[in-house]
Amino acid sequence: MGTTQSVFSEEELQDYQDLTYFTKKEILHVFKIFRGLYPDAVDRDRNAKISEDLVMSLPELKMNPFKDRIVKVFSSEEGGLSFEDFLDMMSVFSEKAPKEIKTQYAFKIYDFDDDDAISREDLGKMVTRLSSSQNETVLKDEERDRLVNEILKEADLDNDNLISFSEFQHVISKAPEFESSFRIRL
């Protein structure tokens, strides 16, 4: 199909640059990564959707305990990610994306039931995933519940047993390591 440069017009590259935190060269690099996941499909149709499983197999996501949530949050439709979805995902995880944008997407990723609040159940899932990714022993229910209670005690400022987006922002503002943990290097 030729070089990746010929895949996009200069106008398309400019539009992508305007909508992301990437340079044109970085956009072409992201397309190369996207194409590498399923070259046959992308060579036939650059707007092809890449399955969630293929996207989750990326080395940058493979070991992430939230990889399925990440892919779901960035999928504009069921059935996988288009190049634009993939570009959005990579842009948010780039070093240049502002903390506010990263915080918005982190909140969506941790809101497992998509109800615009992080509930006790969401926190339980988060703690379980984080603890099982750190070692081979799974937390007992009591240990998980104790951690969830501690998180709510610290983050739930209005005591409604939910973490709202503003409460989440407040917690993230106290976590200097957040930005470096919410990053994919190209």
Write the CATH number for 77: 1.10.238.10
pLDDT digits (tens, 9 = 90+) for 87-124: 999 999 999 999 999 999 999 999 999 999 999 999 99
pTM, rounded to two decimals: 0.89
Q: What percent of the chain has pLDDT over 70?
A: 94
> Parallel, antiparallel, or unpaired: how do β-strands 118-119 and 162-163 relate?
antiparallel
Note whether 86 and 105 are same-domain residues. no
Q: Which residue has the tokens 């603890």?
A: 131
pLDDT digits (tens, 9 = 90+) for 149-168: 999 999 999 999 999 999 99
The percentage of the chain sitting over the pLDDT mark of 90, rounded to a whole number, equals 76
> Which range, of 18-27, 82-91, 132-141, averages the lowest pLDDT?
132-141
Encoded tokens for 10: 């200069």
Decide which of 72, 92, 112 is a domain's last residue: 92
